[in-house]
A = this chain, B = another copy of it.
Amino acid sequence: MLKFEEQKKLDSVNGALAIRSEIESIVDEICKKGYKNICWLGIGGTYASCLQAEVHMKERSSIDFFVENAAEYILTGNKKVGEGTIVIISSVTGRTTEMIDGVKKAKEAGAEVIGFVDYADTELAKMSDHLISYPENEQLKFFMAADRFMYNAGEFNEYDELYAELDEHLARGLVEVEKSADELGESIARKHMNDSIHYFVGAGNQYGATYSYAMCYWEEQHWIRTKSIHSAEFFHGMFEIVDRDTAVTVFVGEDSQRKLSERVAKFLPRICGNYNIIDTKDYELIGISEKFRGHLSHLLMRVITSRIDVHIEKLNCHPMEIRRYYRQLDY
């Protein structure tokens, strides 16, 4: 299978799950001393992950939490951020300027920062009051933090049960999903490698995936134009430009907002002949209880779409590492 290192993938997810004890001790300490609210702070792809954590918590929690885009926060501010605010960030490079300035501002306002920063020797890592340094698996890290906060607030009694299943089965489960999605990935890649524009539609914890997959993968790494739209909004304007040949992919997840995407998936065939429905429900996840699948469906989607990526990369002879402008120019 193209660009697929099974053991590396297993190790990556299992390693991420293993940092849970670190997360727990940090979150438990914060909960013990008390906090006012949680601010998920991001930009670009990490902003999308914040949106996923937000919808995940919204379904369950009375904790006061919210998402801020770092660049907006720097200029507009947010009076909710202050003493007692826990800012949660994620960064690979640790040197994204908007994140550095945003974290600086939040800390000046009195906030405490939990930083998932892949490299410990970077500015964002140094600015984090609580640093957790482990590569990749951003959403899993965010959800582990969110889940622990909710568990401590008495809002997530299935915490131990869930993580026992994940520790045992998630890494293998995702690898098996990825393998079984390879054929679909190749067929979508072949069908859409020349698209002039591709629409991605999703909801719930898939919305962040929809937004970032369109922007951070197709636009940024494949140089293919996209639009992403929330399934709830699809029927309020955007669908007027869909016709027989319009390329549309719907991400259907298994959380509380599944119905919104099902509605799009059901309607599309009446007006469009060039769509794909990717439904995480079609993929087995051995050892994981049905009730937890909604919780995880964005992780399934990510490994499924990664199969589209490797095939588009090969078919379009366009290495995903290259950037036209990003960090190539001053802007």
Could you tell me which A residues sit within 8 Å of B by CB distance? 43-45, 47, 55, 58-59, 61-62, 64, 66, 69-72, 75-80, 98, 196-197, 203-204, 212, 215-216, 219-221, 223-227, 229-233, 235-241, 255-257, 259-260, 263, 266-267, 270-271, 323-326, 329, 331
B241:A225 contact, CB within 8 angstroms? yes
- Whether the Cβ atoms of A215 and B235 lie closer than 8 Å is no
Q: Is the CB of A78 within 8 A of B98?
A: no
* Copies in the assembly, this chain: 2
User: In the complex, are the beta carbons of A329 and B59 less than 8 A apart?
Assistant: no
Of B43, B62, B240, which contacts A325 at CB under 8 A? B240
A66 to B216, CA, bound (A): 27
Q: A55-B76, A62-B79, A76-B256 are in contact. Are A220 and B232 (CB under 8 A)?
A: no
List 7 A-B pairs, minimum CB-CB distance, nearest first.
A44-B236, A71-B232, A215-B237, A220-B237, A267-B331, A227-B227, A62-B79
Q: Give the chain B neighbours of A45 by CB distance below 8 A.
A: 236-237
> Do B240 and A98 touch across chains, with their CB atoms under 8 A apart?
no
Which residues in B have their C-beta under 8 angstroms from that of A329? Answer: 270
Given contacts A235-B326, A240-B324, 4 further A-B contacts (CB under 8 A): A44-B235, A196-B196, A220-B240, A267-B331
Question: CA of A221 to CA of B237 in the docked complex: distance in angstroms?
Answer: 8
Bound-complex Cα distance A18 to B78 (A): 31
Bound complex: CA of A215 vs CA of B229, how far in Å? 10
Residue of B nearest to A221 (CB): B240
- B219 touching A240, Cβ below 8 Å: yes
A72 and B260: CB pair below 8 A? Answer: yes
**Among A66, A263, A326: residue with most chain B CB under 10 A:** A326
Q: How far is the CB of A260 from chain B (nearest CB, A)?
A: 6
A59 proximity list for chain B (CB < 8 A): 76-77
A204 nearest in chain B by CB position: B76
CB<8 Å pairs between A and B, sample of 19: A43-B233, A44-B235, A44-B237, A47-B233, A47-B236, A58-B77, A59-B77, A62-B79, A70-B232, A72-B257, A75-B256, A75-B257, A98-B232, A197-B225, A216-B236, A219-B237, A219-B238, A223-B241, A235-B331
Q: How far is the CB of A257 from chain B (nearest CB, A)?
A: 5
Residue numbers in B under 8 Å from A72 (CB-CB): 55, 203-204, 230, 232, 257, 260
Q: Is B263 a contact partner of A236 (Cβ separation < 8 A)?
A: no
Point out the residues of chain B lying under 8 angstroms from A231, CB to CB.
Answer: 71
Q: In whole Å, how far is A217's beta carbon from the nearest beta carbon of chain B?
A: 8
With A238-B219, A241-B219 known to touch, is A271 a contact of B75 (CB < 8 Å)?
no
The distance in angstroms between the C-alpha atoms of A72 and B79, with both chains bound, is: 25
Please report the C-alpha to C-alpha distance between residue A221 and residue B233 in the assembled complex, in whole angstroms: 15
C-alpha spacing A223/B242, complex, angstroms: 9
By a CB distance below 8 angstroms, the chain B residues around A239 are 325-326
User: In the bound complex, what is the Cα–Cα distance between A43 and B203 (angstroms)?
Assistant: 14
Which residues of chain B come closer than 8 Å to A212, judged between CB atoms? Answer: 237
